[in-house]
Amino acid sequence: MLELLSENRSFGGLHRRYRHPSSELNGPATLAVYLPPQALAGERVPALYWLSGLTCTDENVMQKGGAHRLAAELGLALVAPDTSPRGAEVPTDPEGGWDLGQGAGFYVDATQAPWDRHYRMHSYVVEELPALLEAELPLAPARSISGHSMGGHGALVAALRHPGRYRSVSAFAPICHPAACPWGRKAFGAYLGPDPRAWAGWDATLLIPDAAERLPLLVDQGSADPFLDTQLRPADLAAAAEAAGHPLQLRLQEGYDHSYFFIASFIDDHLRHHAAALRAPG
């Protein structure tokens, strides 16, 4: 089912781009996978799933994140799906905005027309894609998840909604409380409907109080991020975690912004965080 689009040698491993038909997205999906040298030598390796942010594709983190070198050393596969379904038949923002529609799937399962036919990024990332990759590539059923901005939101929600599915979770500048910020309210209102009660299951800050698993959260946030207070709201996540006794390491990185320069500066810490969990017994 995986159609190879391109392949590049990188730090002894292979960076590949694939396309495949997706039942959840009701159309073709594109993704990138980095296979470390250990996978090429016959080992089934654990995988870190990376969810990218608004306007991005699978290519951003692979080209700008600086993760291949350490992933090769640690024996981690990196999986980067796209940020939304794509194609001429896939609806997008009728007003031409970049924060709704194609490039802005928000990693939810839409319930409202016309979005519900294609916009099921949550089930695609959590269920369909791992099942496909673990069947067709040398990936072990040991998974972790991370992401940036909208993708950080998606990673936190995926881990909180699916106890036992992931060994570890982290995020860079996640949209922590989408039900309370302009980006989230716009997307949730379209994909999930106007009733905010339908949004609670897709908001990390609102999920933490009743989380069935207290998987530790690692979150990096730049102090110079222009979206810090209005869109990202990490203080809301911190307050919810403290009230619930949920382990959270929230690191405010002085002077860093929202860009991939920020991500590349701290990606090694996150890779080691995930490798420790993925390589642990059990």
Q: Which residues are part of the catalytic machinery?
A: 149, 225, 258
Name the residue among 264, 144, 268, 110 with its Cα closest to residue 216.
144
| List of residues 6+ apart from 91 with CB closer than 8 A | 101, 114, 115, 118
Name the residue among 111, 118, 127, 43 with its Cα closest to residue 77.
43
DSSP per position, 145-198: EEEBTHHHHHHHHHHHHSTTS-S-EEEES----GGGSHHHHHHHHHHH-S-GGG
| Cβ atoms 267, 67 nearer than 8 A | yes
d(CA 39, CA 110) in angstroms, rounded, equals 35
Number of helices (H), then strands (E), belonging to the chain: the values are 10, 9
| Cβ atoms 104, 83 nearer than 8 A | yes
Strand (E) or helix (H) holding 71: helix 68-74
| Cβ atoms 271, 76 nearer than 8 A | yes
Length of the chain measured in residues: 282
* CA angle 229–203–103, rounded 5-degree value: 80
